[in-house]
A and B are shown apart, each in its own frame.
Chain A
Amino acid sequence: MPVESLFPRLEPLLPSVGKPIQYVGGELNATNKDWDAAEVRWALMYPDAYEVGLPNQGVQILYEVLNERDWILAERTYAVFADMEKVMRDNDIPQFTVDAHRPVRAFDLMGISFSTELGYTNFLTAIDLAGMPLHAVDRGDDDPIVIAGGHSAFNPEPIADFIDAAVLGDGEEIVLAISAVVREWKAEGRPGGRDEVLLRLAKSGGVYVPKFYDVTYLPDGRIQRVVPNRPGVPWRIAKHTLMDLDAWPYPKNPLVPLAETVHERFSVEIFRGCTRGCRFCQAGMITRPVRERSIEGIGAMVQNGLDKTGFEEVGLLSLSSADHTEIGEVAKQLGDRYEGSNTSLSLPSTRVDAFNITLANEFSRNGRRSGLTFAPEGGSDRLRKVINKMVSEDDIIATVAAAYSHGWRQVKLYFMCGLPTETDDDVMQIGELAKRIIQTGREVSGRHDIRCTVSIGGFVPKPHTPFQWASQLDHETTDARLQKLRDAVRADKKYGKAIGFRYHDGKPGTIEGLLSRGDRRVGRVIEAVWRDGGRFDGWSEHFSYDRWAGKAEEALADEPVDLDWYTVREREYAEVLPWDHLDAGLDRDWLWEDWQDAIDPDGALEVEDCRWTPCFDCGVCPQMDTEIQIGPTGKNLLPLTVV
């Protein structure tokens, strides 16, 4: 049955909304396929505004991987702003894709990539605008199967009522496997309806279908058990790990938007995973092991991406890009290759060491000198041991000294507040460190105009990390500590003016904490907030703490739990955590021991990186049948063919 484009109805309305180009599509390298020729159709959503969602690598990769199959069609949809939502509701225009402006409800599958929990309300807006029932149990055979992915899907329990399924880990292979199951089920004439296809997916062991699991609670509110309620459904659901990144050089045809977006560059993922072992870092824990793309693979992707997009900046992405075994050669050879072409290279995530200054110099050869950002995360040596961020104050000073002596005038430092065992003094140390940095900078550069910006975020404990049991610091204490720090820095006559200070209040962190470590009961809070108008919670101008706190109180009134219970409460070893049945490969006992090592009263014990020390049994490789894939390969960038 042909599905008509909604664009003719949308077009006359576009002049009345802000930034209409975001709803128009027409990006370079976008794919428009014949609806009727496809057997399986996906609507892929990033649950934030187009300008944030379009550059997302995950969506772009899956969009391309799916569309490469002639029997699959994939289109994209994003969160619409409030003005557009109103126009759509007033004119009965459902949630649409930007590719061919087809109604989302007409698709077989809807895949949503959750990088952050703060996209949950936007997701509800989209399914509601699509005309689908909010609750998965109310959906019929004509509704798409709604599948969550992305890092937040490692604990999808708060949105368990609204999704049909969740997938953990790398999406490239599992989206094809899911497509094959749906294709077969449709070809058979959809036997057993919606439940049957979900059951087939659940039985595979790689797709979590929340409604096939019953959760029971103890009188005090803790979870008693999570049990499959259908035969053949596995007790635990495993994450997916893509091996051999060189075999998956995506995106091959990167999308180039007409609208301005948050990342105006071509990005190459130079490796996936991280084993630095920072205890707060969910990304580092759930994406193990490290799998590098080779220097040749990187070179080919950079050239292809620049040719196809015309971007003038290339970002080398990963969780800690300077850790690539051949990053020095990659930087030097790319620098040589693009010298004089007005193409700039950037390395978004770097750790604190002097080697990065060498890299930064290599990357700024074309003259574009972006700022340098380092993330010591903790203010004192003691606290950095607790979080296993193995960098000493002297390392930090040496690194920034190198930066200032090489001509950088501004350095940005990122810290967290509210880490386990943290005291006022640990946070005040951030100020002392900043002063020492300016002092050293003035000495080595001989100049007085150098600056350093201290950027501080509130720590939110995340599932599948050693800190998953930790108490989250309440936002009142967080704000008080940061106020004290800011006052102390501002009062300093000698250095105060050279130190910039950026932090957001702690309230959004409390709600992020609720959504990160919440269970299925939190779904009621999300729904109540959304019904009350909650949208774009990741945007400070739209976020309302009072709405979230108020709705949490109302929605959980009949339960023995509340907002504090989910956030500031420390958990015990024996407590069943809402995500314990979701397997990121990490051995629970190893996580617990690492947690105990962090808070050891005699001082925290540090864990090395398994890339250059023996395995310390986090459990991922044997559990997931994976292995570390790193260089050096000793190879070089392939010479470019003459254009």
Chain B
Amino acid sequence: MTTLQGTPNPEAPNPQLPIVQKLRIRYAKRGRLRFTSHRDFARAFERAVRRAGIPIAFSSGFTPHPKISYANASPTGAASEAEYLEIGMTRACDADEVRGLLDSALPPGLDIVDVVVAKPGALADRLQGSAWQIALPGVAVDHARSAVDGFLAADEVLIERMMKRGLRTLDCRAAVLRLVARSDDASAGPCAILDVVVRHDTPSIRPDDVLAGLRSSGGLELEQTPIATRLAQGPLDTDEGTVGDPLAFDRDAP
């Protein structure tokens, strides 16, 4: 996550207004709009900012672009209740009002959950881990539990992932701080739910990686397409295996 620069370069073409306030925004990707890629979301968000008339800051130069920085976007196809971004404003605004304006300018399914005025400290530093929920339709909970036991018993679970520079082998076990299987009581048929807490390493371990690890180490067999939802991102309590609210500091600081 790049940090927003507060002072525009006065020498550049198209000098712009300076940033006087930074807002931190939590948003959700729900339902069918979980298929928006990060780039799709970025375009939709920029347009929503313009429609809502939010006084966002722009970079100067020949192609001015709005001051928005994104953190740890979830993979395309995964739903999320906890995505974060930061915007620079040329005029101080009420955070709740901005939340309402942006949310109504975005299509339903891309929803603004929370907006706070940024306090000192980098947001990226507080996004230490994620809590995921992975629904496995058609999978009996006992089967899922035995796969989880196999996974957790291993010190290292190697998987392969296609990266920019080709196929790479990585360990998906070390980053997993918590992994529990339970049954989905709301589902009509068998459906296991995995609750996963992962530490944000580089490269970050994603739900697909955990599933690949469960397949190789625990013999997990999938029946249908799993659906992953990120429930939280924030500071990690490594003892408890829980994820806190990264905006708590901004909200609570004097």
Q: Which residues of A contact B (CB under 8 A)?
A: 7, 11-16, 19-21, 24-28, 256, 258-260, 264, 306-312, 342, 366-369, 643
Contacts of A27 in B (CB 8 A): 107
List 10 additional A-B contacts (Cβ < 8 Å) besides A26-B33, A258-B36, A369-B62.
A11-B32, A15-B225, A19-B37, A26-B107, A26-B109, A256-B44, A309-B51, A311-B50, A312-B46, A368-B64
Q: Which of B39-64 contact A (CB under 8 A)?
A: 39-41, 43-44, 46-51, 53, 58, 61-64
Q: In the complex, which range does the number of interface residues on chain B fall in?
A: 20 to 34
Alpha-carbon separation in the docked complex, A643 to B46 (Å): 19
Given contacts A27-B107, A367-B14, contact A14 B64 (CB under 8 A): no
Whether the Cβ atoms of A24 and B107 lie closer than 8 Å is no
Contacts of A25 in B (CB 8 A): 32
- Contact partner, B47, options A16, A256, A342, Cβ 8 Å: A256
Of listed A25, A366, A367, A368, residue having the most chain B CB within 10 A = A367
Contacts of A260 in B (CB 8 A): 39-40, 43
Q: Looking at the assembled complex, report how far the CB atom of A75 sits from the nearest CB atom of chain B, in whole angstroms.
A: 16
By beta carbon, the residue of chain B nearest A25 is: B32
Whether the Cβ atoms of A310 and B107 lie closer than 8 Å is no
Contacts of A24 in B (CB 8 A): 32-33, 35
Whether the Cβ atoms of B64 and A342 lie closer than 8 Å is yes
Whether the Cβ atoms of A308 and B51 lie closer than 8 Å is yes
By beta carbon, the residue of chain B nearest A306 is: B50
Tell me if B76 is interfacial: C-beta within 8 Å of chain A. yes
Q: Looking at the assembled complex, report how far the CB atom of B226 sits from the nearest CB atom of chain A, in whole angstroms.
A: 9
- Contact partner, B77, options A15, A306, A368, A369, Cβ 8 Å: A15
Tell me if B224 is interfacial: C-beta within 8 Å of chain A. yes
Alpha-carbon separation in the docked complex, A369 to B13 (Å): 12
A-B contact pairs, 12 of them (CB 8 A): A15-B77, A20-B77, A21-B36, A21-B37, A21-B40, A24-B32, A256-B44, A260-B40, A310-B51, A367-B14, A367-B61, A369-B62
Interface of A is mostly: loop
Whether the Cβ atoms of B13 and A367 lie closer than 8 Å is yes
Whether the Cβ atoms of B107 and A7 lie closer than 8 Å is no
Tell me if B105 is interfacial: C-beta within 8 Å of chain A. yes
Contacts of A366 in B (CB 8 A): 14
Top 5 closest A-B pairs, CB basis? A310-B47, A310-B50, A310-B51, A367-B14, A12-B225
Alpha-carbon separation in the docked complex, A21 to B37 (Å): 8
Contacts of A12 in B (CB 8 A): 137, 224-225
Contacts of B108 in A (CB 8 A): 26
By beta carbon, the residue of chain B nearest A341 is: B50
Q: Looking at the assembled complex, report how far the CB atom of A44 sits from the nearest CB atom of chain B, in whole angstroms.
A: 21
- Contact partner, A309, options B39, B47, B66, B224, Cβ 8 Å: B47
By beta carbon, the residue of chain B nearest A21 is: B35
Hey, what's the 0/1 contact readout for B1-38 against A, CB within 8 Å counting as 1? 00000000000011000000000000000001101110
Q: Looking at the assembled complex, report how far the CB atom of A286 sits from the nearest CB atom of chain B, in whole angstroms.
A: 35
Whether the Cβ atoms of A258 and B50 lie closer than 8 Å is no
Contacts of A19 in B (CB 8 A): 37
Q: Which of B98-122 contact A (CB under 8 A)?
A: 105, 107-109
Given contacts A20-B77, A21-B35, contact A643 B225 (CB under 8 A): no
Whether the Cβ atoms of A13 and B225 lie closer than 8 Å is yes
By beta carbon, the residue of chain B nearest A366 is: B14
- Contact partner, A307, options B40, B51, B224, Cβ 8 Å: B51
Contacts of A21 in B (CB 8 A): 35-37, 40, 76
Contacts of A311 in B (CB 8 A): 47, 50
Contacts of B14 in A (CB 8 A): 366-367
Contacts of B61 in A (CB 8 A): 367
By beta carbon, the residue of chain B nearest A368 is: B63
By beta carbon, the residue of chain B nearest A101 is: B32
Q: Which of B129-160 contact A (CB under 8 A)?
A: 137
Contacts of A26 in B (CB 8 A): 32-33, 107-109
Whether the Cβ atoms of A28 and B64 lie closer than 8 Å is no
Alpha-carbon separation in the docked complex, A312 to B108 (Å): 22
Whether the Cβ atoms of B62 and A368 lie closer than 8 Å is yes
Contacts of B39 in A (CB 8 A): 260
By beta carbon, the residue of chain B nearest A369 is: B62
Q: Which of B47-100 contact A (CB under 8 A)?
A: 47-51, 53, 58, 61-64, 66, 76-77
Contacts of B13 in A (CB 8 A): 367
Whether the Cβ atoms of B51 and A259 lie closer than 8 Å is no
Contacts of B53 in A (CB 8 A): 643
Whether the Cβ atoms of A259 and B40 lie closer than 8 Å is yes
Given contacts A21-B40, A368-B62, contact A312 B107 (CB under 8 A): no
Whether the Cβ atoms of B58 and A342 lie closer than 8 Å is yes
Alpha-carbon separation in the docked complex, A14 to B63 (Å): 35
Q: Looking at the assembled complex, report how far the CB atom of B203 sits from the nearest CB atom of chain A, in whole angstroms.
A: 20
Contacts of B51 in A (CB 8 A): 307-310
Q: Looking at the assembled complex, report how far the CB atom of A22 sits from the nearest CB atom of chain B, in whole angstroms.
A: 9
Whether the Cβ atoms of B105 and A310 lie closer than 8 Å is yes
Q: Which of B185-219 contact A (CB under 8 A)?
A: none
Alpha-carbon separation in the docked complex, A7 to B109 (Å): 15
Q: Looking at the assembled complex, report how far the CB atom of A16 sits from the nearest CB atom of chain B, in whole angstroms.
A: 8
Whether the Cβ atoms of A258 and B49 lie closer than 8 Å is no
Whether the Cβ atoms of B49 and A310 lie closer than 8 Å is yes
Given contacts A26-B32, A309-B47, A309-B51, contact A258 B63 (CB under 8 A): no
Contacts of B41 in A (CB 8 A): 258
Q: Looking at the assembled complex, report how far the CB atom of B82 sits from the nearest CB atom of chain A, in whole angstroms.
A: 20
Given contacts A26-B33, A307-B51, contact A258 B62 (CB under 8 A): no
